[in-house]
Homo-oligomer: A and B are copies of this chain.
Amino acid sequence: MANWLKNTIKNASSDCVVFGFEDFSLKILLYKRGINPCKGAWALPGGFLKKGELFEEAARRILKATTGVTDIYLEEVAVFDQLDRFPPWRVFTVGYFALVKPGKYKITATGLDSTEVRWFKFNELPELAWDHKQIVDTALHKLRSLVLHKPIGLELMPNKFTLPQLQTLYEVVLDRPLDRRNFRKKMIQMNLLKKLDERDPNNKTNAAYLYKFDKRVYNKLITKGFILE
């Protein structure tokens, strides 16, 4: 412990709510703690800041260690600083939410004292350590309001995807069904998508067309925003 503390700021940490989209559901990355405190409990990937490291840098370091992804979408959620959130002593944490693309990452446990790292459906989470449930809830809330005003699929979908897939993402995040035709119309009229000549090879019956995001438009909408309904 003494050695561990040497290069560490012991009252400041970053925690990441990592969202991924797989098997038609929205998932969150958790790890099982291998050491005390809270050994055996599931927790968000996170950790103390090193000296000379920014909160966001710490978050990226942790994400690289857990997912292997270096260029990742990251946004600050909020500060969490309840006095008793980390009982051994007082620690402020900055919560981030991150979006990662399936296929682009591979989960490891490098850099975390952990016995296991895996995805959970966002609505079937286990009990979480400390105040991590609260961080997840805040991040989910932010994701839901984000999705209505900015495009988000680029960070979560594979490079080529079908419109029904994208719609499912939106339905899962918003937790309600959307009208197929209106969803298509909206996406297409924003010029957000480029239709490819390929079709979904996975699907059996009537294969859906694949699309890519038009990154130019995508980035413009990220800064400018839009209104989905």
Give residues in A with beta carbon < 8 Å to B: 9, 11-12, 52, 54-55, 76, 78-79, 81-83, 92, 94, 227
Contact = CB atoms under 8 A, between A and B. Distances in A.
A227 B226 CA distance: 11
A55 B81 contact: yes
Given A11-B11, A11-B12, A79 B81 contact: no
A92 B12 contact: yes
A12 B11 CA distance: 9
Nearest to A78: B76
Given A12-B92, A227-B227, A54 B81 contact: yes
A10 to B, nearest CB: 10
Contact of A79 (B9, B52, B76, B82): B76
Given A76-B78, A78-B76, A227-B227, A83 B11 contact: no
